[in-house]
Structure 1
Amino acid sequence: MAEPTSGSTSTSTLPQLPTPTSFPFPYPKPYDIQLQLMQVVFRAIEDGKIGIVESPTGTGKSLSLLTSTLTWLEQHQQRLSTAFTDGLREKLRLDDPSDPEWVIEHSLKAKLAELRGVEEKRDERLKKARERERKIRKSMGLGMNKGMGVVVKKSKVDGGVDRNNGVRKEEEEFVPDDSEKRDMEGPYISKEVRELMDKYEASRPKVNVEGEEEEEEDLPKIYYTSRTHTQLRQLTSELLKTSFPVSDFESKSTKDDSNSSAKKPKGVSLVPLGSRKQLCINDKVRSLAKNSGGGDERLNEACLDMQKSGKTRCEFLPTKAEEGIMLDARDSVLASVKDIEDIVAIGRKSCVCPYYATRRAVKQSQIVTLPYNLLLQKNAREALDINLKDQVVVIDEAHNLIDTLLSIYSTTLTSKTISNAINQLQQYYARFKNRLKSVHSLKIRQVLSLLQGLTKVCQDFVTAHTGKGKIKNEVLNINELMERIGKGNDQLNPLDLVGYLKESKLARKISGFSEFTLEQKEKEKQMENKSSRTSTHRHASIASFHIVESFLLSLVDSKDDGRVILSSEDGNSNVVTIKYVLLNPAERFKEIVEEARSVILAGGTMEPISDFLQQLFPSIPKDRFSALSCSHVIPKENLLTQVVCVGPRKTEFEFKYSNRENDTIMTELGSVIQSIIGLVPDGVVVFLPSYSFLDKVKTTWTSSGFIGRLGDKKTLFFEPQTSGDVESTLRDYALAISSGDAVQKGKRTGALLFAVVGGKLSEGINFSDSLGRCVIMVGLPFANVGSVELQERMRYIEGLPGNSKESSREMYENLCMRAVNQSIGRAIRHANDYATILLIDKRYGTPRIKNKLPKWIGQDVKIQNDFPSVAKNVALFFREKREKERGLK
Structure 2
Amino acid sequence: MAESDDLALPALPTPSSFPFPYPKPYDIQLQLMQVVFRAIEDGKIAIVESPTGTGKSLSLLTSTLTWLEQHEKRSNEGFINGLREKLRNDDPDDPDWVIEHSLQSKLNEIQQIQELKNERLQKARERERKIKRNPNLGLNKGLVSKKAKTDISLGNEKGSHMQEDEFLPDDAKENDERDNDQGPYLSKEVRELMNKYEASRPKSAPEEVEEEDVPKIYYTSRTHTQLRQLTSELLKTSFPLSDSSSDNENTDNGNVEAGPSKGISLVPLGSRKQLCINDKVRALVKNGGDERLNEACLDMQKSGKARCEFLPSKSDEGIMLDARDSVLASVKDIEDLVMIGRKSCVCPYYATRRAVKQSQIVTLPYNLLLQKNAREALDINLKNQVIVIDEAHNLIDTLLSIHSTTLTSTTLLNAVSQLQQYLSRFKNRLKSIHSLKIRQVLSLLQGLIKVCQIFLYDNDNGRDSNGLNNKRKGQVKNEVLNANELMERVGKGNDQLNPIDLVNYLKESKLARKISGFSELIIEQNASKESKISKSATQRHASIASLHIVESFLLSLVDAREDGRVILSREENNGNQIMAIKYVLLNPAERFKEIVEEARSVILAGGTMEPISDFLQQLFPSLPKDRFSTLSCSHVIPKENLLTQVVCVGPRKTEFEFKYSNKENVVILTELGSVIQSTIGLVPDGVVVFLPSYAFLDKIKVAWTASGLMSKLGDRKTLFFEPQTSGDVESTLRDYALAISSGHANSISGEESKKTGTLLFAVVGGKLSEGINFSDSLGRCIIMVGLPFANVGSVELQERMKYIENLPGNNKDSSREMYENLCMRAVNQSIGRAIRHANDYATILLVDKRYGTPRIKNKLPKWIGEDVKIQNDFGSVAKGIAGFFREKREKERGFK
Q: Same fold (TM over 0.5)?
A: yes
Letter in 2 for 1:236: T
**Post-superposition shift, 1:501?**
2.2
Partner of 1:814: 821
SS, match of residue 527 in structure 1: helix
Letter in 2 for 1:614: Q
**Post-superposition shift, 1:324?**
1.5
**Post-superposition shift, 1:116?**
1.1
Structure 1 gaps of 5+ residues are: 1-5, 185-205
Q: What is the distance in 1 between the residues matched to 2:707 and 2:158?
A: 77
Partner of 2:502: 497
Question: Structure 1 residues 281 and 19, CA, compared in 2 at 3 Å: closer, same or farther?
Answer: same
Partner of 1:195: none
Partner of 2:77: 82
Q: What is the distance in 1 between the residues matched to 2:304 and 2:418?
A: 23
Q: What is the distance in 1 between the residues matched to 2:619 and 2:344?
A: 44
Name which of 47, 55, 60 aligns with 1:60: 55
> Would you say 1:577 and 2:577 are equivalent positions?
no
Question: Structure 1 residues 607 and 503, CA, compared in 2 at 3 Å: closer, same or farther?
Answer: same
**Post-superposition shift, 1:175?**
2.8
Q: What is the distance in 1 between the residues matched to 2:36 and 2:170?
A: 45
SS, match of residue 634 in structure 1: coil
> Would you say 1:548 and 2:550 are equivalent positions?
yes
Partner of 2:365: 371
Q: What is the distance in 2 between the residues matched to 1:651 and 1:688?
A: 19
Mean Cα deviation higher: 85-94 or 265-274: 85-94
Partner of 2:659: 656
Partner of 1:849: 856
Q: What are the within-5 Å matches in structure 2 for residues 661-810 of structure 1?
A: 661-741=664-744, 742-743=746-747, 744=751, 747-810=754-817
Partner of 2:563: 561
User: Residues 241 and 260 of structure 2 are in contact (CA less than 8 Å); yes or no, is this contact kept in structure 1?
Assistant: no
Partner of 1:174: 167
Q: What are the within-5 Å matches in structure 2 for residues 287-366 of structure 1?
A: 287-292=283-288, 295-366=289-360
SS, match of residue 388 in structure 2: strand
CA-based RMSD of the aligned residues comes to 2.8
SS, match of residue 12 in structure 1: coil
User: Residues 146 and 351 of structure 1 are in contact (CA less than 8 Å); yes or no, is this contact kept in structure 2?
Assistant: yes
Question: Structure 1 residues 287 and 253, CA, compared in 2 at 3 Å: closer, same or farther?
Answer: farther
**Post-superposition shift, 1:222?**
0.5
Name which of 89, 92, 96 aligns with 1:94: 89
Mean Cα deviation higher: 65-74 or 11-20: 11-20
**Post-superposition shift, 1:250?**
6.0
> Would you say 1:395 and 2:400 are equivalent positions?
no
**Post-superposition shift, 1:217?**
1.0
Letter in 2 for 1:683: G
Question: For residues 406-453 of structure 1, what are the alpha-carbon distances to aligned partners after superposition, in whole Å with 9 as ceiling and x for unaligned?
Answer: 111111111221122123223334444554455444433332232222
Q: What is the distance in 1 between the residues matched to 2:299 and 2:228?
A: 30
Q: What is the distance in 2 between the residues matched to 1:851 and 1:153?
A: 67
**Post-superposition shift, 1:497?**
2.8
> Would you say 1:417 and 2:411 are equivalent positions?
yes
User: Residues 685 and 754 of structure 1 are in contact (CA less than 8 Å); yes or no, is this contact kept in structure 2?
Assistant: yes
Question: For residues 832-858 of structure 1, what are the alpha-carbon distances to aligned partners after superposition, in whole Å with 9 as ceiling and x for unaligned?
Answer: 111100000001001110000000100
Partner of 2:834: 827
Letter in 2 for 1:542: I
SS, match of residue 356 in structure 1: helix
Partner of 1:888: 895
User: Residues 175 and 508 of structure 2 are in contact (CA less than 8 Å); yes or no, is this contact kept in structure 1?
Assistant: no
Question: Structure 1 residues 335 and 692, CA, compared in 2 at 3 Å: closer, same or farther?
Answer: same
Q: What is the distance in 2 between the residues matched to 1:761 and 1:393?
A: 29
Question: For residues 24-67 of structure 1, what are the alpha-carbon distances to aligned partners after superposition, in whole Å with 9 as ceiling and x for unaligned?
Answer: 00011111111111111111111111110000111110000000
Partner of 2:195: none
**Post-superposition shift, 1:91?**
2.1
Partner of 1:617: 620
How many residues get paired? 855
Question: For residues 512-533 of structure 1, what are the alpha-carbon distances to aligned partners after superposition, in whole Å with 9 as ceiling and x for unaligned?
Answer: 22223444556xxx42533242
Q: What are the within-5 Å matches in structure 2 for residues 10-409 of structure 1?
A: 10-140=5-135, 143-146=136-139, 153-156=146-149, 167-180=160-173, 211-247=206-242, 251-252=246-247, 266-292=262-288, 295-409=289-403
Q: What is the distance in 1 between the residues matched to 2:670 and 2:141?
A: 66
SS, match of residue 74 in structure 1: helix
SS, match of residue 532 in structure 2: helix
Mean Cα deviation higher: 311-320 or 55-64: 311-320
**Post-superposition shift, 1:209?**
6.6
Letter in 1 for 2:375: R
**Post-superposition shift, 1:178?**
3.3
Q: TM-score, structure 1 length as denominator?
A: 0.91
Question: Structure 1 residues 612 and 259, CA, compared in 2 at 3 Å: closer, same or farther?
Answer: farther
**Post-superposition shift, 1:299?**
2.0
Mean Cα deviation higher: 717-726 or 503-512: 503-512
**Post-superposition shift, 1:627?**
0.7
> Would you say 1:469 and 2:454 are equivalent positions?
no
Q: What is the distance in 2 between the residues matched to 1:133 and 1:649?
A: 68
**Post-superposition shift, 1:646?**
0.4
Question: Structure 1 residues 443 and 389, CA, compared in 2 at 3 Å: closer, same or farther?
Answer: farther
Partner of 2:194: none
Q: What is the distance in 2 between the residues matched to 1:415 and 1:796?
A: 28
**Post-superposition shift, 1:678?**
0.9
SS, match of residue 712 in structure 1: helix
User: Residues 152 and 351 of structure 1 are in contact (CA less than 8 Å); yes or no, is this contact kept in structure 2?
Assistant: no
**Post-superposition shift, 1:302?**
2.1
Question: For residues 240-282 of structure 1, what are the alpha-carbon distances to aligned partners after superposition, in whole Å with 9 as ceiling and x for unaligned?
Answer: 00000134576149899x9996999612110111111211122
SS, match of residue 559 in structure 2: coil
Mean Cα deviation higher: 466-475 or 231-240: 466-475
SS, match of residue 870 in structure 2: strand
Partner of 1:196: none
SS, match of residue 569 in structure 1: strand
> Would you say 1:448 and 2:442 are equivalent positions?
yes
Structure 2 gaps of 5+ residues are: 178-200, 462-472
User: Residues 272 and 340 of structure 1 are in contact (CA less than 8 Å); yes or no, is this contact kept in structure 2?
Assistant: yes
Letter in 2 for 1:72: W
Question: For residues 374-421 of structure 1, what are the alpha-carbon distances to aligned partners after superposition, in whole Å with 9 as ceiling and x for unaligned?
Answer: 111223222222111111110000001111111111111112211221
Q: What is the distance in 1 between the residues matched to 2:222 and 2:152?
A: 41
Question: Structure 1 residues 836 and 324, CA, compared in 2 at 3 Å: closer, same or farther?
Answer: same
Question: Structure 1 residues 596 and 762, CA, compared in 2 at 3 Å: closer, same or farther?
Answer: same
Q: What is the distance in 2 between the residues matched to 1:879 and 1:54?
A: 32
Q: TM-score, structure 2 length as denominator?
A: 0.91
User: Residues 482 and 490 of structure 1 are in contact (CA less than 8 Å); yes or no, is this contact kept in structure 2?
Assistant: no
User: Residues 133 and 148 of structure 1 are in contact (CA less than 8 Å); yes or no, is this contact kept in structure 2?
Assistant: no
Letter in 2 for 1:95: D
Question: Structure 1 residues 520 and 529, CA, compared in 2 at 3 Å: closer, same or farther?
Answer: closer
Letter in 1 for 2:103: L
Partner of 2:513: 508
Question: Structure 1 residues 693 and 159, CA, compared in 2 at 3 Å: closer, same or farther?
Answer: closer
Question: For residues 526-547 of structure 1, what are the alpha-carbon distances to aligned partners after superposition, in whole Å with 9 as ceiling and x for unaligned?
Answer: 4253324285664244210100
Mean Cα deviation higher: 367-376 or 77-86: 77-86
Q: What is the distance in 1 between the residues matched to 2:431 and 2:72?
A: 50
Q: What is the distance in 1 between the residues matched to 2:894 and 2:712?
A: 34
Partner of 1:529: 531
User: Residues 518 and 534 of structure 1 are in contact (CA less than 8 Å); yes or no, is this contact kept in structure 2?
Assistant: no
Identity %: 78
Question: Structure 1 residues 164 and 556, CA, compared in 2 at 3 Å: closer, same or farther?
Answer: closer
Partner of 2:454: 460
